[in-house]
Amino acid sequence: MKLTMKNILKAVVLVLFTSATALAHDGHKSKQDSTAQQADTVMTTPTSEADQSEHEHTSEAVSHDAHEKDAHHEKKVTADLADFPTIHPLIVHFAIVLLIVGAILAVVNIYFIKKELAWTAFALVLVGFVAAYLAGRNFHPHTHGLTEHARLVLEQHDFWADWTINLGFIGLLLQGINLFIFKSKRWAMAIVAVVLLGAAYAVAQAGHYGAQLVHIEGVGPQGDFLELEHEH
């Protein structure tokens, strides 16, 4: 019995000693881990602060550049004529609108036979013809580097532009003859109206192919595929 109690006491002491040793070891390890973590935090903090400072500097630079670009656009909301790669699109709108409206007035005047309408149609066709001539001859941009399909579209555009100029001139001449010689005879007005309708159709076709070149083929915006004067 005494031997048994002695053995039990030895076992209890051994267990207590083992537990105390394990707890001391864990505490020492936790202290080391805590110290290492603090060291890592100290080493990481400057790096994080440097990254944050660099990020803020980059953000400020980007914001500054964007502000400068916005300021530049605000100063140049309305572009000058010199800013356009070509003034062809600025002129051609007059040809399209005036020739079509002039043709409509000529057709309407077949019924009314009003001298005022005849003179108005003559004035509109005159300005429209001049605009078409300038857009097709003096300010027609030259192109380079077009795709095969874009060249085909350009050929159609030029074809109808030539017909616009030719029919516009013939219609203008006949309208003048009608006003000064035939004194607005109905049959003469009908002939003029037919010719001007042809000019209106031609300018509409030229405008269609022109819009296709710009908005589908990408010819013209910001001078793309155009031979600019400063390149020569």
The confidence score (pLDDT) of residue 92 equals 95
Report CA Rg, the chain: 43
C-beta separation of 206 from 154 below 8 A: no
Name, in order, each residue with C-beta under 8 angstroms of 212's C-beta and a sequence gap of 6 or more. 153, 157
Average pLDDT for residues 145-159, to the nearest whole number?
95
What is the DSSP secondary-structure string of 7-19? HHHHHHHHHHHHH
Residue 29: per-residue pLDDT: 46
77-97: string of b/e by CB count within 10 Å (b at 16+)? eeeeeeeebbebbebbebbbb
* CA 24 – CA 22 distance, rounded (Å): 5
| Cα–Cα nearest to 90, from 154, 139, 158, 130 | 139
**What is the rounded CA–CA span in Å between residue 173 and residue 82?**
35
Of 153, 163, 164, residue with least CA distance to 213:
153
> pLDDT (tens digit, 9 = 90+) per residue, 92-140?
999 999 999 999 999 999 999 999 999 999 999 999 999 999 999 999 8
Contact 192, 175 (CB under 8 A): yes
Q: Is the pTM of this model over 0.75?
A: no
Distance, CA of 205 to CA of 26 (rounded, Å): 90
- Dump pLDDT digits (tens) for 3-43: 455 566 566 556 555 554 544 444 444 444 444 454 444 44
- The residues that bridge with 143 in the sheet, in sequence order, are 226
Per cent of the chain over pLDDT 70 is 65
